[in-house]
Chains A and B, each alone.
Chain A
Amino acid sequence: AQSVTQLDSHVSVSEGTPVLLRCNYSSSYSPSLFWYVQHPNKGLQLLLKYTSAATLVKGINGFEAEFKKSETSFHLTKPSAHMSDAAEYFCVVSEERYGGATNKLIFGTGTLLAVQP
């Protein structure tokens, strides 16, 4: 069965410094992986997704993530944090069964990113 683990529940960085949000997954098949962001009082928004194409995926707002099969990781990074990046980030894997991906998303427990001025 698929699962996803976000290693840090809270991450705090200074504005202008790099961001690293860690995610490890477990999957029997080739996974589809996503990062979603949830700003306070707003809905979830897709940042980026990996679907077996290029292993380095670029998303919105300068974020990117690299799929590393050998490490079963899909860490989210950004070179320089901005105050507006403060939010909760979810790593997500699409459940897969025989025949391909399903509609069921399996969410990590989330990482709350704080950006200090």
Chain B
Amino acid sequence: GAVVSQHPSRVICKSGTSVKIECRSLDFQATTMFWYRQFPKQSLMLMATSNEGSKATYEQGVEKDKFLINHASLTLSTLTVTSAHPEDSSFYICSARVSAGSLSPLHFGNGTRLTVT
């Protein structure tokens, strides 16, 4: 089946530094990938939609200059948390669809636990 690989699974960084999270579709091409964030005891919230070869579409309230998304190829999207602060500590998860169409299944990565000290 379709596999989405997310790396790293855990990262601890100091306040003020930047962290890059990678999301790869291993056996399919994904023109669109999605980035979610999950706060403790809360639901996943869509942060942005990553489109290959074009700018990402951010959800309301998400700072595009803080959460930089790059989707340079059909199998890789990256999320960079710039100048991280403790409040950015969260669980970030990416997903991708195997085929176009909003009802085709989403395949999720295993997520990245970010801790900012």
* Residues from chain A with Cβ under 8 Å of B59 in the complex: 104
Stretch at the interface among A12-20, A21-29, A44-52, A72-80: A44-52
Instruction: Check: B21 CB closer than 8 A to any chain A CB.
Output: no
Q: How far is the CB of B37 from chain A (nearest CB, A)?
A: 11
Please count the residue pairs between chain A and chain B whose beta carbons lie under 8 angstroms apart in the complex.
Answer: 54
Q: How far is the CB of B3 from chain A (nearest CB, A)?
A: 9
- Knowing A103-B49, A107-B43, A109-B42 touch, does A46 contact B106 (C-beta < 8 A)? yes
Determine the distance from Cα of A49 to Cα of B44 in the docked complex, in whole angstroms: 18
- Residues in B lying within 8 Å of A, measured CB to CB: 4, 6, 9, 32, 34, 36, 41-46, 49, 59, 93, 95, 97, 102-103, 105-111
Closest 9 CB pairs of A and B: A44-B108, A43-B108, A107-B43, A43-B110, A101-B102, A107-B44, A109-B43, A46-B105, A103-B102
